[in-house]
C-alpha cells in the first residue's frame, strides 16, 4: 500500500513587529553600554594613577630624608673623632656638599655616590661660654643637612634635618 504525500504548499512565517525591533535594538544597547562602561572606567582610572604618582613621590621623599639622617649621623661621628680643639663652626651661609672621598684608608677610597651631591651640610658649634658656663670643656654640636626637592607645583622646596650632640674635652 502506497502512502499519499501531501501536496507542497507555501507556509507563511509571521514574525511579530516587536520581536524584529528587539533583535536590532540589542546591538545598539550593547554599544551604548560599552561606551558608558568605558567612560566610567576612564574616570575611575584617574584617581588610581594619581595614587601611584603620589606614592612614588612619597617614597622618594622618604628615601631622601633617610639619606640626610644618615649623612648627619656620619658627620657627627666624624666630628667626635676629631680632637676637641679642632671642632669649629661653619659659617651659617656655608653649606658644604657631600662629594669626594667618603672613606679614605690604606686599602683605597670610596667616593660619595653622585646622588649625594644634592645634600649639603652645615656645622654649628656652641662653645662653653654659650652653652655651659659651669663646665668649660663641653661643646654642643648641631649638624644640619639640607636638600632640595620639587613639590606638587614643581617648585623647589628646601628640606633640612638637624641633629645635635655634645662632646667634651675629657
pTM over 0.85: no
At 141 the three-state DSSP class reads strand
Residues 6+ apart with CB under 8 A from 15: none
pLDDT by residue, tens only, the chain of 170 residues = 566 766 666 666 665 655 555 555 455 578 888 889 999 999 889 888 889 888 988 898 899 999 999 999 999 998 888 888 888 887 777 888 888 777 767 777 788 888 888 899 999 988 766 655 666 678 889 999 999 887 767 778 888 999 998 888 77
Which residue's entry shows cell 574616570?
A: 43
Burial code (b: 16+ CB inside 10 Å, e: under 16) for 123-132 equals bebbebeeeb
DSSP-derived 3-state class of residue 21: helix
* Other Cβ atoms closer than 10 A to 31: 10
Amino acid at each position: 500500500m502506497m502512502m499519499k504525500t501531501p501536496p507542497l504548499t507555501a507556509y507563511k512565517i509571521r514574525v511579530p513587529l516587536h520581536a524584529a525591533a528587539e533583535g536590532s535594538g540589542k546591538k545598539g544597547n550593547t554599544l551604548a553600554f560599552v561606551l558608558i562602561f568605558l567612560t566610567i572606567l576612564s574616570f575611575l582610572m584617574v584617581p588610581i594613577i594619581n595614587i601611584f604618582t603620589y606614592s612614588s613621590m612619597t617614597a622618594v621623599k622618604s628615601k631622601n630624608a633617610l639619606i640626610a639622617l644618615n649623612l648627619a649621623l656620619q658627620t657627627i661621628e666624624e666630628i667626635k673623632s676629631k680632637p676637641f680643639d679642632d671642632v669649629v663652626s661653619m659659617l651659617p651661609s656655608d653649606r658644604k656638599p657631600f662629594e669626594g672621598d667618603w672613606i679614605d684608608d690604606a686599602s683605597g677610597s670610596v667616593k660619595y655616590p653622585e646622588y649625594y651631591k644634592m645634600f649639603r651640610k652645615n656645622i654649628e658649634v656652641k662653645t662653653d661660654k654659650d652653652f655651659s658656663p659651669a663646665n668649660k670643656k663641653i661643646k654642643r654640636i648641631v649638624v644640619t643637612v639640607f636638600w632640595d626637592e620639587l613639590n606638587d607645583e614643581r617648585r623647589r622646596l628646601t628640606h633640612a634635618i638637624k641633629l645635635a650632640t655634645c662632646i667634651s674635652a675629657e
